[in-house]
Amino acid sequence: MYKILLIYLTIVGLIFCNNTCAQSEKHFKQIITKASKVSDTLSVGYTYWWTQSGPFIGYCGEQYGFVFLGTIQQIDHTVQNDKSIHPSQKGSIKIDEVLVARDLKKNRYSKQKVMVSDCFYEQDLREGDQVLVFCYEYEENYSIPGRKSLLKVNGNKDPLIQVIKRYILSGQDALMLKEEMDLWKLHDLETEALQLIRCKEAKN
């Protein structure tokens, strides 16, 4: 009788262990997968209350924090409730090519593959669109300030991409913007570009 009871307890113990081990392994894999996703994702805030947005902001131009060429992967539904001042619409952008990446105290680009933000409300963008994304520094973190900070482009040879690359290589020298006024007008950036140009000329 004792031997039968011992065999029964051993079998029950093995079954319990197998089930528990399997659950633990599954949970472990979920944690690892989640951690991998987090490490591959760069989270960026949205300063929708800024009065300016786009590649040319500030009286004489603000230094870029993070600029990249990317492809929109996902756009969620708009969320608005009594607690929110501004509608929120989250989404993700695959990072295809980094043009500027400054290390900030509270955030930095560390080869992440995807950027996530809640900046997609009224952006008139769709999944699959290619965009130039301009982020600035706000409270020692990256931030996207408004609608013009996500500019839709048409492939890697889009003139906007090439000109922005030259502008970055120049150290954001506003005087070079004078050569591309037709392009800025096309993207509704003429006023902002002229402001930076006038400031630069006044300093010279």
Per-residue pLDDT of the chain (204 residues; tens, 9 = 90+): 544 444 444 444 444 444 433 443 343 233 323 433 457 999 999 999 999 999 999 999 999 999 999 999 999 988 876 666 778 899 999 999 999 999 999 999 999 999 999 999 989 999 999 999 999 999 999 999 988 999 999 998 999 999 999 999 999 999 999 999 999 999 999 999 999 999 999 988
Per domain, the residue ranges of the chain are 43-203
**CATH domain 43-203 topology:** OB fold (Dihydrolipoamide Acetyltransferase, E2P) (2.40.50)
Contact 144, 47 (CB under 8 A): yes
Q: How far is Cα 52 from Cα 50, in angstroms, rounded to an integer?
A: 5
Tens of pLDDT along 151-204? 999 998 999 999 999 999 999 999 999 999 999 999 999 999 999 999 999 988
Which secondary structure element, helix H or strand E, spans residue 67, and what is its range?
A: strand 66-75
**Comparing C-alpha atoms, which of 180, 150, 178 is closest to residue 46?**
150
Q: How far is Cα 51 from Cα 75, in angstroms, rounded to an integer?
A: 24
Which tokens go with 13?
A: 């113990």
Q: What are phi and psi of 100, to 5 degrees?
A: -140, 135
Q: How far is Cα 159 from Cα 187, in angstroms, rounded to an integer?
A: 11
**Comparing C-alpha atoms, which of 204, 164, 202 is closest to residue 183?**
164
